[in-house]
A and B are shown apart, each in its own frame.
Chain A
C-alpha cells in the first residue's frame, strides 16, 4: 500500500513540475513573473499552451489507465488499448471527415472520430455476444482493427486531392499541436466517465488473476466486467483519438514502467499507470514542442520511436527470463 502511495505522490509531483516547465518552455520562454493577466505574453500561456498541456495530461492518463486495465483484463502484459479496434475505428471516423473535407469545423472531426469509436464498440459487442470469452474478444478486436485499418488505407489511396492525402497522413500520426480549450471540454467528460468505469473494475481484475473459473466462483460477473472494460476503454481511447489522433505505445509501456515499483497486482497498477501516462505524454509533447526543428515532430512519431526500442528491451528481458 505505502509503496503505491509513494509512487503516486512522486508521479503527481513530477506532473506538477513538468506542467510548470512545459508552460514556460516553447519557442518563447515565458518566466513565472509574466504569468499575470495583464502581461502581453499571458495569452500565449492561457490560450495556446495551457489547453495543450491539459490535453497531454488527460490523454496520457486515459491511455495509461486503459493500457493497465486491458493488460489486467486480458491477463497479458503485451495487451494494448489499441488492440480491440476502438482506436482504429476512431481514426477511420476522423479520416472520413478529412476525406470529405469536413475538417473546417472544429467539432466535426472529433464528432466523426467519436462516432467511429462508438460504431466499433457496438460491432465488438455484437461479435462477442454474451460469450464473455476473452479469446473471442481478442479475435474480434483484431478483426475490427484490421478492417478499420484497411478502410483507412483505402481512404488515403482514393483521397480526392493530394492535400486531403497529406492531411490524412499527417493527422494519423497523432499530435497535440494547435489544440484549444474546445478540445479540452470535448474530451474531459468522456475521459472522466471512462476513467471512472475502469476504476470500478479494479478489484475484479485482481480476482481474475486466479483465472476465469476461480474468479467466477468468487462471484465475478464476466459480462459486467467485459461491459465496464469495453465501454471504459472505448470512451478513453475514443476521446483521446478524437482530440489527439493515434498515439501508440503509451498504454503498452506505462504499466511495465510502474510494475517494478508497485508489484503485479492489476488494481495496484491502475492509478500509477494513469499518472505515469500523463507524465510520459506531457514530457514527450513538451520535448517535441521545444525542439528546434523547422516543422514540429509529430507526437505520435515520437512515441513510436520510444516504443520500438522499449519492445526490444521487453523481448530481451523476457528472453533472459526464459534462459
Chain B
C-alpha cells in the first residue's frame, strides 16, 4: 500500500537531539495534524519526510521504498512541501509563481498540456484564478497564502506537507485553507499539516500526532489523543473540552493553577 512512514528516526542538529526514535505511518486520503509545543520537532519531522534532512538513524519509507532508493526528482514529484512563512524573492505574477510548482515534472524545455492543466486545476482548487495576472506584491496575506498553496498543488503531489499554513491568516481565511486541505485529502492525497491551534486540529484532522521533546507522545484520532491530561502534560496548560449546540468540538485552554 502507498504509505509514507518513518521508522525510528533520530536526528541531531547542532548538538541537540531534535527527533528521538520517532515512528509514524501516514495514510493517503487522510489529514494528519502534527501538534506539539514550540521546539518539539514538528517542522524537523516534516523536513525529514520531504527529504531536506536525512535522519542519523532510522529510515523514511515512501510507498514502501526507503527514501534513498528514490531520486530527488522522484521524491519531489510525490511529496510537496509548503514551508513555513514561505518567501517569494522576486515579484513575479501569480500564474508564473504557481507554474513553478511544476518544476519536478517539467521537461528541460517548454511546458506541456499536462503542466498547464495541473496549474489551472491548482488555481481553481485554491480559488486564485482571478488573480492570475496580478503581481505577488499586490496580494493580501490571505491571497498570498492561497497562491503559495496552489504552487504546491500544481506539482500534484501524493503527499502534501504544510508547515503552519494558517499563520498570519484571519479566521475566515484559516477556515478556507483548512477546507482546501480537506479537499486535497478527499481527492486521495495524504495531507500532513503542522498546526498550533488545537481547535483547528480537531476541526480538520482525521489523525493527530502529538510530539513533545523530540518524541511522539501519542497518535490516533483527535478525540483519543487530545485529552485534558495529555494537553496538560505536553503544553503545560489546563484545558476544557466542550461541544457547541450544533456539535462542533472545541478546546479552551487556560494557565495551570499553581
| B89 with A75: CB separation less than 8 A | yes
Taken together as a complex, chains A and B put the C-alpha atoms of A310 and B224 apart, in Å, by 64
- Chain B proximity mask over A217-259: 1 for CB below 8 Å, otherwise 0: 1111100000000000000000000000000000000000000
Taken together as a complex, chains A and B put the C-alpha atoms of A203 and B102 apart, in Å, by 11
| Chain B nearest Cβ from A1, distance in angstroms | 9
| Chain A nearest Cβ from B246, distance in angstroms | 39
User: Is A216 interfacial (CB 8 A cutoff)?
Assistant: yes
Taken together as a complex, chains A and B put the C-alpha atoms of A53 and B72 apart, in Å, by 45
Q: Which of A218, A220, A221, A263 contacts B96 (CB 8 A)?
A: A263
Q: Which of A209, A217, A263, A265 contacts B50 (CB 8 A)?
A: A217
| B90 with A203: CB separation less than 8 A | no
Overall SS of chain A's interface = helix
| Chain A nearest Cβ from B236, distance in angstroms | 30
CB-CB nearest in chain B for A71 = B90
Interface size, chain B (Cβ < 8 Å): 33
| A218 with B104: CB separation less than 8 A | yes
User: Is A264 interfacial (CB 8 A cutoff)?
Assistant: yes
| B92 with A263: CB separation less than 8 A | yes
Q: Assuming the A-B contacts A209-B100, A213-B81, are A219 and B73 also in contact, with contact meaning beta carbons closer than 8 angstroms in the complex?
A: yes
| B81 with A217: CB separation less than 8 A | yes
| A209 with B103: CB separation less than 8 A | no
| A218 with B103: CB separation less than 8 A | yes
Taken together as a complex, chains A and B put the C-alpha atoms of A131 and B212 apart, in Å, by 30
Chain B stretch 93-142: residues in CB contact (< 8 A) with chain A:
93, 96-97, 100-101, 103-104, 106, 108
User: Is A135 interfacial (CB 8 A cutoff)?
Assistant: no
Q: Which of A211, A263, A266 contacts B83 (CB 8 A)?
A: A211
Taken together as a complex, chains A and B put the C-alpha atoms of A206 and B155 apart, in Å, by 15
Q: Assuming the A-B contacts A203-B106, A218-B103, A264-B91, are A211 and B86 also in contact, with contact meaning beta carbons closer than 8 angstroms in the complex?
A: yes
B108 contact set on A, CB distance < 8 A = 203
User: Is A208 interfacial (CB 8 A cutoff)?
Assistant: yes
User: Is A169 interfacial (CB 8 A cutoff)?
Assistant: no
User: Is B165 interfacial (CB 8 A cutoff)?
Assistant: no
CB-CB nearest in chain B for A207 = B103
| B89 with A206: CB separation less than 8 A | no
Q: Assuming the A-B contacts A207-B103, A209-B100, A210-B151, are A217 and B89 also in contact, with contact meaning beta carbons closer than 8 angstroms in the complex?
A: no
CB-CB nearest in chain A for B108 = A203
| Chain B nearest Cβ from A160, distance in angstroms | 49
| B52 with A265: CB separation less than 8 A | no
| Chain B nearest Cβ from A265, distance in angstroms | 5
Chain A stretch 66-90: residues in CB contact (< 8 A) with chain B:
75
CB-CB nearest in chain A for B71 = A219
User: Is A214 interfacial (CB 8 A cutoff)?
Assistant: yes
| B93 with A217: CB separation less than 8 A | no
Q: Assuming the A-B contacts A219-B72, A221-B72, are A265 and B90 also in contact, with contact meaning beta carbons closer than 8 angstroms in the complex?
A: yes
Q: Which of A206, A208, A219, A221 contacts B104 (CB 8 A)?
A: A219
User: Is B190 interfacial (CB 8 A cutoff)?
Assistant: no
| B90 with A217: CB separation less than 8 A | no
B51 contact set on A, CB distance < 8 A = 216-217
Taken together as a complex, chains A and B put the C-alpha atoms of A106 and B214 apart, in Å, by 65
| Chain B nearest Cβ from A72, distance in angstroms | 8
A sample of 15 more A-B contacts (CB under 8 A), given A214-B151, A217-B81, A218-B76, is A206-B103, A209-B89, A210-B151, A211-B83, A211-B88, A213-B52, A216-B51, A217-B80, A217-B83, A219-B73, A219-B76, A219-B103, A220-B103, A264-B92, A265-B92
